Amino acid sequence: MTTIQALPLQPGASGGSYIPREDTFEVLTAKPLVGFLSRAVQPPSRVYLSAQDTFLVQWFANFVGPQITVRGRLLKPDGSIVPFQQTFPTASPFTSNGGTFKLAEGFLLSLSVQNDNQNNFSQWCYCTVDLQRPAQGPTAPFDRLAQGYVNGSNLTMAWPQSSLRLPDSGQGTPRVWIGTMPAAGSEISETVPTGVRWKLKSFDAFLNTSVAAATRQPYVQIRNASGQQIITMGSPATVGAAGTLELMVSQFGVNWGTILSTIFFALPDVYLEQGWKITTGTGGLQAGDQYTAPVILVNEYAAPGL
Amino acid sequence: MAKYRCNSCGGTYSDVLQDGTAYYHACGPIHNPAFNLDSAKGPLDTRDSIERPNKRDENAPVTLRVVNGKPVLVTADVHDATRQIETPAASLIVSEGAGRTLVPDAAL
């Protein structure tokens, strides 16, 4: 511990003056045991880019129009640090979008990825950044620098700080899926989009029956991409002519039965893969019966074949 | 927000939902007329439903990629595992079916 001499009288910030007390003014750091070079310094990066190395940026989103911006800094062999920025517009949602760019030779110091065009919490964008050769096309990358969700400009993915985040990590993104209103006399069918995985939370739809005399008994099914039935959720509840019945399927744990023309089905804890279907089936369905568009709540994950 | 009617199944939908996320319509299956679980009554067919003929499916093909703004179908190169083969994609969706029709607001 080293004690330094008291400073001479100095004006204070408020216009007054103070006199440092010699017995409490101490330097608490010790003299370093190592020294540092000011020339021929080892660069603080494991990634050295050659002239042939190409960045491959791939992203996958559930909405139209995310704009991916990659920014970073490059340490060139002459010692200068060059910032760079590359922007990619998205062509198609639920599709793997990819773009490439090259930099000059040098050490990559930092890299960040932002999604600059997101305006709703139901939207998400999953992104990966690789190094590859040659310059064009999705060839097999030899180094993955970053992967994860870039949801909005404030949720940036950065190299080397960010860990590689798998698409199905976390809680998923809650999303309300409003499906197709089928033609009269037809059943509901919704298909999990390409490249995503759903954790099904609830399903809600109304069946309005025609005047044709018949007893309708609806149920809800989950089918895999081949059309095979995986799960059937049903209830003894029925509805006759010129009536309305609401189907509410959620994670109640048990079937609650029928309350005020609403039947409550228990929903199993299940993930749905791309191409799987949620359908209704209705015993006694008549040609004039009409289902409304289903409202489905899911936790959505990216599952792209990047 | 535009609404469309599928010319294959007659369903009505919006291709962009209220929260700005994309919606891709796919026609549902139909009842399998050959469904039969009793061999005494004919050939067994355990499929209670089959895909609709001329089905419309707006989902992206699994092999579709958009590379530098160009849609391509990507397959593995059997001769070089480090490369992939890209062929131009004729369509961005799985199947057009009978197409779709824009539904005027007044018709909703």
Pairing outcome for strands A244-250 and A262-266: parallel
User: CA–CA separation, A255 vs A257, rounded Å?
Assistant: 6
Q: Which residues of chain A are within 8 Å of residue B66 when distances are taken between CB atoms?
A: 90-92, 95-98
Say if the Cβ atoms of A188 and B28 lie within 8 Å.
Answer: yes
Question: Residue A20: what pLDDT?
Answer: 55
Say if the Cβ atoms of B26 and A191 lie within 8 Å.
Answer: yes
- CB-CB: which of A139, A183, A274 is closest to B10? A183
> What pLDDT, in 10s, does the model give residues A37-60?
777 777 788 999 998 899 999 999
Question: ipTM of the predicted structure?
Answer: 0.90
Q: Name which of A194, A196, A299 to mutate to probe chain B: the one with the most chain B Cβ atoms within 10 A of its Cβ.
A: A194
Residue A183 predicted with pLDDT over 90: yes
Say if the Cβ atoms of A92 and B28 lie within 8 Å.
Answer: no
> What pLDDT, in 10s, does the model give residues B48-60?
899 999 999 999 9
Question: Residue A306: what pLDDT?
Answer: 46
Give the minimum alpha-carbon distance from B59 to chain A in angstroms, rounded to a whole number.
6
- CB-CB: which of B23, B29, B69 is closest to A227? B29
Which pLDDT band, with edges at 50, 70 and 90, does A199 fall under?
Answer: very high
Computed over every residue of chain B, the mean pLDDT equals 90
Sign of the four-CA dihedral A159, A162, A164, A167: negative
Pairing outcome for strands A48-49 and A26-27: unpaired
Question: Residue B10: what pLDDT?
Answer: 97
Cis status, amide bond into A134, omega within 30 of 0: yes
Residue B106 predicted with pLDDT over 80: no
User: CA–CA separation, B23 vs A294, rounded Å?
Assistant: 13
Name the DSSP class of A234.
E
Q: Which residues of chain A are within 8 Å of residue B62 when distances are taken between CB atoms?
A: 194-195, 274, 305
Residue A254 predicted with pLDDT over 80: no
Greater confidence (B108 vs A204) lies with: A204
Question: Residue B94: what pLDDT?
Answer: 95
Residue B52 sits at the vertex; the CA angle it makes with B48 and B53, to the nearest 5 degrees, is 130
Question: Residue A257: what pLDDT?
Answer: 66
> What pLDDT, in 10s, does the model give residues B60-102?
998 998 888 889 998 888 887 767 788 898 888 999 999 999 9
Q: Name which of B67, B85, B87 to mutate to probe chain A: the one with the most chain A Cβ atoms within 10 A of its Cβ.
A: B67
Give the minimum alpha-carbon distance from A12 to chain B in angstroms, rounded to a whole number.
57
Torsion-angle region of residue A198: left (phi > 0), alpha (psi -120 to 50) or beta? beta
Rounded to the nearest angstrom, the gap between the alpha carbon of residue A141 and the centroid of all alpha carbons in its chain is 22
Say if the Cβ atoms of A180 and B11 lie within 8 Å.
Answer: yes
Cite the beta strand spans of chain B per DSSP E: 3-6, 12-14, 30-31, 49-50, 64-67, 70-76, 84-88, 100-103
Residue A280 predicted with pLDDT over 60: yes
Computed over every residue of chain A, the mean pLDDT equals 85
Residue A212 predicted with pLDDT over 50: yes
Give the minimum alpha-carbon distance from A236 to chain B in angstroms, rounded to a whole number.
21
User: CA–CA separation, A71 vs A73, rounded Å?
Assistant: 7
Closest residue in A to B24 (Cα) is A193
User: CA–CA separation, B79 vs B90, rounded Å?
Assistant: 25
Question: Residue A91: what pLDDT?
Answer: 67
Q: Which residues of chain A are within 8 Å of residue B93 when distances are taken between CB atoms?
A: none
Phi, psi of A164 (to 5 degrees): -75, 120
Residue A129 predicted with pLDDT over 60: yes
